[in-house]
Structure 1
Amino acid sequence: MQQTCLASAAKKKSLKDLSKLFQSLSSPFFFFLLFIIYLKKNLLIVKIEDTHKKALEEDPSVFDYDGVYDEMKQKIAQPKTLDRQKRESKYIKTLMGKAEERKRQHDVIFEKNLAKERIKDDHLFADKDKFVTAAYKRKLAEQEKWMEEERLRELREEKEDVTKKSDLSDFYFNLGKNVALGAKDLLAKKQEKQDKQTEYKKPDNKVADETSARNDALTDSKFALDSSSVKEAHQKETSPPRSSEPLDPEPVSNKPISGTSTEGKNPAEQPSANQPNPDHHKRNQDALAAAKERFLARKKAKQL
């Protein structure tokens, strides 16, 4: 009896809750909330459609995933294949080089032993002709070249051996070339300074060429004058000494000395020793022109 009373009370309570719920749903505020949610949903859909249309206008294949799938996979796999191609063994090159070096050493030793054996048997085949093929000659030349390179390499290694150095001069000398310590920046700065100096010196190149040509001409003219003076001195030394009095003096004429003699000349008309000789200046100008031509020819040859 008591259980039936409890069950009926629970039913009545649930009915009351349902009636309250229906009353709240039938209220205008609930309809207003539903209307706002519906508007927001419609606005979101419209926005998505607009972005979809813009993307299609920019690239029609933007949503074609199946069409670009293979290309995407190829792009992903391409760096791996390139990385595999670039990867090489770290020591294989040095090992192959050492193997080639040992092979050449064995060939040289074999050729030396063969030459010794051949020298022992030379007396047996002295009257026979000897033939050497071109390939064998080429092989011997390559062996001689390789032996010379090895000799130079050993000399260089012996010279650069740190254990045989008595001071740290080479260490400090190479320190300036170390890129890790900023040697590259120093080289770049030096190059910039040299470029600036060349830019400043470019306008003065013409003047420098003219001065160098003038100096060459002066040296050439001086050399020509010196050579002429040496020739004159040599001629004076080789020529026999002249007597102070002539052997057959000419008879002196009784005619009076005319005013054209040197003693009666006007001192202004006599050529003074201080006045320059025009022929001498002409020779200097010719020598200057010739030296200038030689300088221009040398400069043109250097440029070529």
Structure 2
Amino acid sequence: MKQLIKQYCLSLGLDCVGIAPPGPYPELADRLQKRIDQGHSIEFDETDILKRTTPQLIMADVQSIIVCLFPYYIGQQKAANVSKYTYSRDYHLIIKEKLAQIQTYLQSLLPDFQSQAFADTGPLADRYLAYLAGLGFYGINSCLITDKYGSYFFIGYLLTNVPFTPDMPLNRVCLQCGRCQAACPGQIILGDFTIDPRGCKSYLTQKKAALSPAEVAIIGKTPLVFGCDICQDVCPHNRNIAVTPLIEFQNDLLPAVREDELIPLSNKEFRRLFGDRAFSWRGKQILLRNLNITAGQRSLLLSSKQK
């Protein structure tokens, strides 16, 4: 049955699929508690550690977790100013569609099959699930890495009531070359496989509260106005990787947003034009703020060079 699952997923273009045990995960709970104690958390984090480490609180009869990787890398795009993960239609929508197909397939084979699907929105730590499922190894930038697709992938998973045999985690880590550490705009990579996300540029481009001068400077260090790819771009594990086989991440690309396009739009028009994009959830004002920051920082840099 496990082989049938993987074969069916392959027919959907998913060639990285594994099974994680149903938990709970006390070792992860210890790690998350340490992060909270150090103050290394942001408002997007689930604060209830039990919810993050106990699948039974989500699905009482969970017996195994099917984890799928959704690679999205399509190469560098000229004049891009949003992160690679947002180029295509919103990945949440794409992942949910694929997971729904897997659910339907398994229900056709197993009449009593029950499952719950999650695409980056559930309380569980999806990278940890993918690690347990043997799908990747950790980098010091806290990303999960695969040999074929590097770290450019999303994670979706199904909690199931069937005791599929778990896969084994990989016994390896990244090269620990330190390039991501040196290149990080916010210098948040701590070198021990943990990060302090409070200064992460990707987080700051989505932060709604007022920004400090230091946070503004971090956003202005690179041209991206939503997200940040720097620690992945410099990673040697991301050299010569395969592009995504998923057609959904190859089509309908929008690698840049422009101020002159956004300013005239009402909020309703913005949602109509960009509502199916992963960068749209914070609204146009945050994008305009970030566009102003990056433009302003470039102007300062040019003026200082001229002097």
TM-score range, shorter chain: under 0.3
Q: Structure with the greater relative contact order (CA < 8 A, sep ≥ 6): 1 or 2? A: 2
| Structure exhibiting the larger radius of gyration computed from Cα positions | 1
Q: Structure 1 or 2: larger strand share?
A: 2
When normalised by structure 2's length, the TM-score is 0.14
